[in-house]
Structure 1
Amino acid sequence: MVLFVINLLIAVWLVGRDRRDIAVTWAWLMVLTFLPLIGLLLYIFFGRKLTQDQIFVIRQEQKQIMEDFKARQQALVDQKNEDVRGKVTEREQLLSRLLGSLDGAVLTQANQVEVFTDGEAKFNQLIEDINHATDHVHVEYYTFASDHLGRRLLQALEEAARRGVEVRVLYDLGGSRGTNYKFFEYLERLGGQAQAFISASKARFTTPRLNYHLHRKLVIIDGNVGYIGGFNVGDQYVGEDPKFGYWRDTHFRVTGSAPTMMQIRFMMDWNTTCRRTKKERLDFDDEILQKQLSMLADYEAHTKGVPMQIVSSGPDNDQYAIRRGYQNIISQARNYVYIQTPYLIPEDSILEALIIAAKAGVDVRIMIPSMPDHPFVYRATEAFARYLTMNDVKVYKYDHGFLHAKTMVSGNNIAAVGSANLDYRSAKLNFEVNAFTYDAELAQQLKETFEQDLQQATLLTPSYFANQSKWLKFKQSCCRLLAPIL
């Protein structure tokens, strides 16, 4: 009993000293209390928050890069935005203003978007674009595996570096298990650079805070071609892992103005990491700044296209821009909201928004995978799916392989595609980036893609869950209790 009380006091002290959500606090207290030693190890590696010093450094990097560029960029697009404001709905204006306020996301107008839902097609096009790069290729992925696809992409990057193209690769150590600095040695000998996000050079574990991941997926080529979405680099993402079979994801290839904002995002993440690795920073000097602004001005002046905001969120910022953007889309929906997410573990605000919309007669449909890639996460997803099904939300499981897409589409022309899932981790723990778009044709394409996926999906009903075993329901309930820390 004495040991139990001591353990409880230590747990309260460890969890209580950081400001965090009450649900997260109770979840960690439960783990630390009932799993004394194991729980402590889990907390040390996964539960501790980023230090204020780390957050300050990340914010300072963002401030130094963003302020001057965004001020000049905003001046370029303001006039065009004024021209289109009278043509967009109040709902679109509300969302774009919200995202601008939360993340400083500039609304760019001149973008051409190609949608990829198949990994082989996406990476074929990406490698072709890299093969035609003349100035730079900047790559940022949560997973950059050292398997067949990883080596294939790396070879294209090495060929680009050999041609004199500036190549930089940023990856997450936790998401790229089995990949380390040695994998990129030849690329660096050719003049390219690679580093793991906020980790020291040549180290596998540099901090016990393993719960914060670079979950973004970005590639920027020559400043005017950008990739953003859900695909990572690995054989499973092109359907070559028998465990998952066909991999269903969604990714954008964007040409035009928005890649400039992707470029800014990459620069901030790269420079933040350089503080540890001592690698060469990316500084936006006047020459580079003017080149980007000139490119942006040319697109904005002469090209019509998809209005788009590149929106970021992460544990360094308490504005939760992507999560609040999702919440705005759901709460403002009048006809339908279609959502695809591999992990359905929404925070209470999103959960209530979904139920309120469904109860108000909005056609709310959510599609999740039919198989787990993380067992605890999937059981929690099933628990939330059961609860939403009981509250008039239509939840489907995708039966044709593994669904990894992170998409939301609603109304005539509002959509979001990116790296952020509908779960606690994407809302508060991971560094994420999404494209929010305002275009009728693109929204219709994503809506039709969702409806096509319905042909290979099963609607989950109350009877479906009622027929599950008591043991499975017990596991779902237990995992739901741990939802804030999964």
Structure 2
Amino acid sequence: MKYIVKFLFHRVCFLILAVLIQIFVLLSVIIKFYDYFAYFYGASILISIVVILLILNNKSNPVYKIAWIIPILVFPIFGGLFYVFLGANKLSKRMRLRMKSIVDKTKAALKPKPHILDEMKAYNEIAATQSKYIQDYAYYPPYCNSFSEYLSIGELKFERLKAELKKAEKFIFLEYFIIEEGVMWNSILDILKQKAEEGVDVRVIYDDAGCIFKLPYGYDKKLESMGIKCRVFNPLVPLLSTRINNRDHRKIAIIDGHTGFTGGINLADEYINEYEKFGHWKDSAIMIKGEAVWSMTVMFLSMWDYLEGINEDFNKFKPEMEPLEESCKDGYVQPFADSPLDDETVGEIVYLNLINKARKYVYITTPYLIIDNEIITALTSAAKGGVDVRIITPYWGDKWYVHEVTRSYYRTLIESGVKIYEYTPGFIHSKTFVVDDEYGVVGTINMDYRSLFLHFECGVWMYKCRTIKDIKKDFTDTLKMCQEITIEDLNQITWYRKLVRMILRIFAPLM
């Protein structure tokens, strides 16, 4: 009973209520002016036709277009209006100007490194081409004066993060999709409060949608009262709005500009298996030390400035770095970010480049395998060409309908030679690529439409790093705890479950 009462007074309930009131008012207007309904219906049809034409001619993914066109055709009265409110990915003129200024500052702060690309090209022209794409289109250059450490489980990242936070002397920047009060966050918060009292510049960004059931309303004010600067990304408002589509899905921690973390691990107890949620929670992260952390610092500051509407001098947060004893002693490291507010799908193209250029193997871990035709074609073509393509997904899904859609892609992939494995102990939230013992990516980017097209994301692309062996070892070790999915397994699925998957898959891009 207390949970029901708690939900009824939760702001989510008020948000839902506000939207229902808006719908009720609209219906009331239609009923009141029923005599003019024919005109309203005609206008709605016209709006839906215009919207469909706009969808067909925009630059979004074709499958995303189909996912919107179907409900518009089925519900022509409200379908077009619904897309106008929720489907489009647009910014006001003022916000576009602000975003452009942030992009310009990012480009100014992150100078291209053609000498590193030339050095990389001497080893491998294909690697240099992939790296150049990230530099040219995401504006994040490669580094060779850096060190990386792969953290194969949430508990390990937790301990490393606490140890590094305690060393902070100048600033701590945290940007996370989810923060939840508990053992993990409370332990970190104790360190943040202490550091803030010592005069360290502590800043926190969290996503409002990601934390809506995790943190109490106004939690940012609580952190501010502790001396911790805090901003909430894209606060939810009780209005139908396209802004709800864009979320800050990044997980970034930066200490003094010389140490950075990213990966799939949020600051909540399930990520360290403090309590069981969907079985054992398998996740991963990466720690970077050295010059490459500057890209992560700019990544955070660009978001901070976007939220604050300020023009901060990024360079005052750039530390002096002593060169490592050996040039490129740990290969090439390239942190990068992906924004949904431009026309460049950086995350997807990074993944496609890895798959398309693989010669021996591609090993992938992802919690969601909701992929478009480009990725399906790349995976199946690689497998048909003799590349060993293996993908680990969860056995226990965190959202049943999303998990059903993930499984709906199995047959197409398996029939083409891709090997699919499910992590039987529970839920795998890790987002990793490892290719040919040469390339690796660890980050926040899932293989689903929202992550690839609608969310702010980040990752670390690596070439010739020792860390890549660790990623591969973690994959092969995890494989021992997985069950391979076969065609025989798929043939045993009931017809009605297949039907549910077929229906859900139509709306996959909207999930």
TM over 0.5: yes
Q: Which amino acid aligns with 1:103?
A: A
Q: CA deviation at 1:330?
A: 0.5
Native 8 Å contact 1:313 1:431 kept in 2: yes
2:231 is aligned with 1:195: yes
Q: CA deviation at 1:124?
A: 2.0
Q: CA deviation at 1:422?
A: 1.2
Task: Say if 1:236 and 1:163 are closer, same or farther in 2 by CA, change over 3 A.
Answer: same
Q: Deviations along 1:79-123, whole A, 9 cap, x unmatched?
A: 45545542x222211211222222122110122222112212211
d(CA) in 2 for partners of 1:43, 1:154: 40
Task: Say if 1:165 and 1:207 are closer, same or farther in 2 by CA, change over 3 A.
Answer: farther
TM-score for both structures, normalised by structure 2: 0.85
d(CA) in 1 for partners of 2:300, 2:509: 28
Which residue in 2 is equivalent to 1:151?
186
Task: Say if 1:375 and 1:35 are closer, same or farther in 2 by CA, change over 3 A.
Answer: farther
Native 8 Å contact 2:106 2:139 kept in 1: no
Q: Which amino acid aligns with 1:30?
A: I
Deviates more, 1:425-434 or 1:313-322: 313-322
Which residue in 2 is equivalent to 1:317?
342
2:131 is aligned with 1:131: no
Native 8 Å contact 1:228 1:418 kept in 2: yes
Q: CA deviation at 1:450?
A: 0.8
Deviates more, 1:92-101 or 1:239-248: 239-248
Which residue in 2 is equivalent to 1:218?
252
Which residue in 2 is equivalent to 1:249?
283
Please show how residues 183-332 of structure 1 align to structure 2 within 5 Å.
183-199=219-235, 208=241, 209-275=243-309, 282-284=312-314, 288=316, 291-292=318-319, 294-295=320-321, 298-299=323-324, 304-332=329-357
Which residue in 1 is equivalent to 2:11?
none
Which residue in 2 is equivalent to 1:356?
381
Which residue in 1 is equivalent to 2:503?
478
d(CA) in 2 for partners of 1:223, 1:206: 39
2:70 is aligned with 1:30: yes
d(CA) in 1 for partners of 2:64, 2:45: 16
Native 8 Å contact 2:72 2:80 kept in 1: yes
Task: Say if 1:454 and 1:332 are closer, same or farther in 2 by CA, change over 3 A.
Answer: same
Q: Which amino acid aligns with 2:313?
A: D
Q: Which amino acid aligns with 1:215?
A: H
Native 8 Å contact 1:198 1:272 kept in 2: no
2:479 is aligned with 1:454: yes
Which residue in 2 is equivalent to 1:392?
417
Q: CA deviation at 1:205?
A: 5.6
Q: 1:58 aligned to 76, 90, 99, which one? A: 99
2:195 is aligned with 1:160: yes
d(CA) in 2 for partners of 1:15, 1:308: 43
d(CA) in 2 for partners of 1:134, 1:166: 9
Which residue in 1 is equivalent to 2:454?
429
Task: Say if 1:188 and 1:387 are closer, same or farther in 2 by CA, change over 3 A.
Answer: same
Q: CA deviation at 1:66?
A: 2.2
Task: Say if 1:224 and 1:440 are closer, same or farther in 2 by CA, change over 3 A.
Answer: closer
d(CA) in 1 for partners of 2:91, 2:325: 40
d(CA) in 2 for partners of 1:398, 1:38: 41
Q: CA deviation at 1:313?
A: 1.3
Task: Say if 1:7 and 1:92 are closer, same or farther in 2 by CA, change over 3 A.
Answer: same
What stretches of structure 1 of length at least 5 have no aligned partner? none
Task: Tell me the secondary structure at the aligned position of residue 210 of structure 1.
Answer: helix
Native 8 Å contact 1:134 1:222 kept in 2: yes
Q: CA deviation at 1:402?
A: 0.7
Q: Deviations along 1:4-36, whole A, 9 cap, x unmatched?
A: 876554434445445233332221132344467
Task: Say if 1:42 and 1:177 are closer, same or farther in 2 by CA, change over 3 A.
Answer: farther
Q: CA deviation at 1:244?
A: 1.5
2:213 is aligned with 1:171: no
Please show how residues 430-445 of structure 1 align to structure 2 within 5 Å.
430-445=455-470
State how many pairs are aligned: 468
d(CA) in 1 for partners of 2:175, 2:240: 21
Task: Say if 1:222 and 1:246 are closer, same or farther in 2 by CA, change over 3 A.
Answer: same
Please show how residues 81-160 of structure 1 align to structure 2 within 5 Å.
82-83=118-119, 85-86=121-122, 88-160=123-195
Deviates more, 1:32-41 or 1:449-458: 32-41
d(CA) in 1 for partners of 2:209, 2:282: 22
Task: Say if 1:483 and 1:93 are closer, same or farther in 2 by CA, change over 3 A.
Answer: same
Task: Tell me the secondary structure at the aligned position of residue 126 of structure 1.
Answer: helix
TM-score for both structures, normalised by structure 1: 0.89
Task: Say if 1:133 and 1:336 are closer, same or farther in 2 by CA, change over 3 A.
Answer: same
Native 8 Å contact 2:281 2:429 kept in 1: yes
Q: CA deviation at 1:312?
A: 1.5
Deviates more, 1:330-339 or 1:383-392: 383-392
Q: Percent identity?
A: 28
Q: Deviations along 1:387-420, whole A, 9 cap, x unmatched?
A: 2112211111111121001111111310111000
d(CA) in 1 for partners of 2:467, 2:407: 30
d(CA) in 2 for partners of 1:392, 1:444: 24
Native 8 Å contact 1:45 1:211 kept in 2: no
d(CA) in 2 for partners of 1:156, 1:466: 53
Asked which structure has the greater CA Rg, the reply is 2
**Root mean square deviation, CA, Å:** 2.6
Q: Which amino acid aligns with 2:224?
A: E
Native 8 Å contact 2:390 2:420 kept in 1: yes
